[in-house]
A and B are shown apart, each in its own frame.
Chain A
């Protein structure tokens, strides 16, 4: 490839591939669920075709080869030479998956899985053979591979080695009218021949009739071209490639001196002494009349193309904008503080304008955040594949239903959801759905169903994974937890509490799960991944009906609603979502267990207590708690504790800033933010603190009266 295809183009090609693969997957989904229309197969075909075209430009031959075969069969279906049976659709989806892998491999400069490729190619090939119609063979007979041969610049040495090489070629050209209507122009073509060597062109006007008998649309001139060159015949002939079907071209070797004495004519206007001037004018008029009458045929102007208007922007730029807007919001807050200090009369214009500024800044922030938002659909589509693979492995047929996939969510959140979601859908296929025969026995369709849904609800995104399987076997879950000593046999537990056991670390390992009709593998890991995103994971299940896992996520990782508190002279932020209530120390019922463990008794529940100031080393343990405030914390994973702070300052939205960019992670701190005075405040990580101080096993705790709530502490 002489194309200096730059890295930029390459990157852009792969970006486009992602879009095309998505369109292809969309098409398959429609074809499978029967919502496809006539255009669907064309869209899929074009997607594969475009990938092939681009891949060719970058010399990605594995990709080109496979896309070509795939496209061939798609074309048969497109042209109704093959029916789109379930079997063929499944093969298409597998080919689509493989194509996706090939694109990914090409992107990483990796190589293809030959065995998988061959298996799929074999089946595509079989389908091609069974397709009706003659063009099946025709298109196979002319594989694109031949087009990848470089131009054959085979100099000299033709089929007559015994003769001296010709000094050039004599080419005669007789045109059909179609040559002109297709936009070809003999003079231009002849001029182009001069790249091979000196040309002399003779226009033969022998066949031109008298003007009165002349059809102006016909060309009655024939040409003879003397081309002095060492270029091979086929290369020269290739120059006539566009007109071979609308002109008679003969080419013979020129040897020695020119056989006909041609003089260069090419730049001179065609002249015909037989044509009188007024007659010429008449011909010109006739021609003009033709072109003037043409507008009648002009089609009614077409509506503008229905392409969505988008621009491509580097995420770096967006992030910079988000940072700047964060700054703007902070500046606005600083300004507000400064103005407050002046103590202006309430009706002052400055205050009103400031209010307007605040609102504007908030809206800009929201708008900028929205740029980072991406539809959840591609994520769901990836799950389609996971489900298919898991189905194949477990011998279950699974139908995927997607709902609300146009909901949008922060790009970073989206990327970090891939792993946990993959895990969960695999889990749903593997352990949620029953084997087909069991389903039939239970009076269900043999084909299981998994529904992925997304919806916006009160500032969060809720993603649900629902199967129509057997539901959680709670007796079995409880039994397992008891066997592992995670709960004591005599603790009464609600269904929800039993379900929550599934998320506990070490609840089950893979080999135990395979015999368990419930779930469990790695769900603790999934939960911690979701929690790290500021999300919550919960499960609900009905025996015999199925199970739903629900993930609730913040729309963005960039802002957080926080309680600004003061701790030992430092200002800190505690996420509002984890604060259940605040309690003044005077109203708190505090107990001391052993030498130094303090617990707070709140409505029959005992909560471990942590003094933030002491925990972060800002001061020694505070024993005198008078005037302090307790924040009662319950985390997304249902851990609870009470945090001691000195004072509450404010409740506000804060922009999350990474500490790790220039520093490192700090235990008990999730991130930093910038407050109205421009100073940095650390954001407390309630989850880490609650885990750090939670008493690991309630059974082991020497508390006189364990209550139902205690079970929460361990989870």
Chain B
């Protein structure tokens, strides 16, 4: 498909790339509402361990998911350098805790590849493919998998 001479703009999309537990991830920039620095959350009773609590986003109560914990890469001890990527997943506004946002990339379909075997099994369940850009492998996060199938982040 990459030999088609259709202009790149037709098939490219912008993704936001970020780092979680030392690994690169990305998803469609259209799903991003905003990116905020870490703020202390209010702990929720009876929540999954990866739910860090809720924050006030201009009057809305928004839960924050520790992506590292959710992907099985270990709990994050969030600090001032961490970021919360605010996304809308199936109509719910949810904050995703990440180490840092690294890039906003414009990528063509030719950069998108199926999930290679070298990706760990835990992570596989959450990604829909990988982008190979220069020497980096960026995992493309399947946002809908971040929220459990029953739609609730509660334990």
A residues near B (Cβ < 8 Å) are: 323-324, 326-327, 330, 570-571, 615-618, 657-659, 661-664, 666-669, 672, 674, 678-682
Contacts and interface: CB of A to CB of B under 8 A. Distances in A.
Interface centre among B40, B59, B151, B154, by most chain A C-beta atoms within 10 angstroms, is B59
Contacts of B54: 659, 663, 672, 680
Contacts of A661: 60-61, 92-93
A666 B61 contact: no
B152 interface: yes
A353 B138 CA distance: 54
B42 A326 contact: no
A267 to B, nearest CB: 59
Interface string B24-64: 00000000000000001111111100000011101111110
7 contacts: A323-B60, A570-B42, A571-B42, A617-B45, A664-B151, A666-B154, A667-B45
A568 to B, nearest CB: 9
Interface string B71-90: 00000000000000000000
Nearest to B95: A662
B45 A666 contact: yes
Interface residues of B, number: 24
Contacts of B94: 662
Contact of B61 (A571, A617, A659): A659
B61 A657 contact: yes
A657 B45 contact: no
Interface centre among A330, A659, A662, A678, by most chain B C-beta atoms within 10 angstroms, is A662
B107 interface: no
Contacts of B63: 662-663
A680 B59 contact: no
A674 B56 contact: yes
B153 interface: yes
Contacts of A618: 43, 45
Contact of B46 (A571, A616, A679): A616
Nearest to B150: A664
A657 B59 contact: yes
Interface in B103-155: 151-154
Interface of B: 40-47, 54-56, 58-63, 92-94, 151-154
A685 to B, nearest CB: 11
Contacts of B60: 323, 657, 661-662
Contacts of B41: 680
A666 B53 CA distance: 12
A618 B47 CA distance: 11
Nearest to B88: A662
Nearest to B42: A680
Contacts of A658: 61
Contacts of B93: 661-662
Contacts of B47: 666
A658 B92 CA distance: 12
A571 B43 CA distance: 10
Contact of B152 (A330, A616, A664, A668): A664
A680 B47 CA distance: 16
A681 B42 CA distance: 7
B59 A674 contact: yes
Nearest to B58: A327
Interface centre among A616, A668, A669, A680, by most chain B C-beta atoms within 10 angstroms, is A680
Nearest to B43: A570
A332 to B, nearest CB: 14
A662 B61 contact: yes
B55 A680 contact: yes
B43 A663 contact: no
Contacts of A664: 151-154
Nearest 9 Cβ contacts at the A-B interface: A616-B45, A680-B42, A664-B152, A323-B59, A663-B63, A662-B92, A672-B61, A662-B93, A327-B59
A679 B61 contact: no
A679 B44 CA distance: 13
A77 to B, nearest CB: 52
Given A662-B93, A667-B46, A679 B40 contact: yes
A662 B62 contact: yes
B87 to A, nearest CB: 11
A658 to B, nearest CB: 7
B44 A682 contact: yes
B13 to A, nearest CB: 26
Given A661-B92, A667-B46, A326 B61 contact: no
Given A657-B60, A658-B61, A678-B56, A663 B44 contact: yes
A103 B51 CA distance: 47
B28 to A, nearest CB: 20
Nearest to A655: B59
A626 B58 CA distance: 39
A666 B44 contact: yes
A319 B60 CA distance: 12
Interface centre among B47, B60, B154, by most chain A C-beta atoms within 10 angstroms, is B60
Interface centre among A657, A667, A678, A679, by most chain B C-beta atoms within 10 angstroms, is A679
Nearest to A570: B43
Contacts of A617: 45-46
A327 B56 CA distance: 10
Contacts of A571: 42
Contacts of A616: 45-46
Contact of B56 (A570, A659, A680): A680
Contacts of B92: 661-663
A273 to B, nearest CB: 78
Contacts of A666: 44-47, 154
A593 to B, nearest CB: 25
A326 B61 CA distance: 13
Given A662-B93, A680-B61, 15 more contacts: A323-B59, A327-B58, A330-B59, A570-B43, A571-B42, A616-B46, A657-B61, A659-B61, A662-B94, A666-B44, A666-B47, A668-B45, A672-B61, A674-B59, A682-B45
A79 B42 CA distance: 70
Nearest to A571: B42
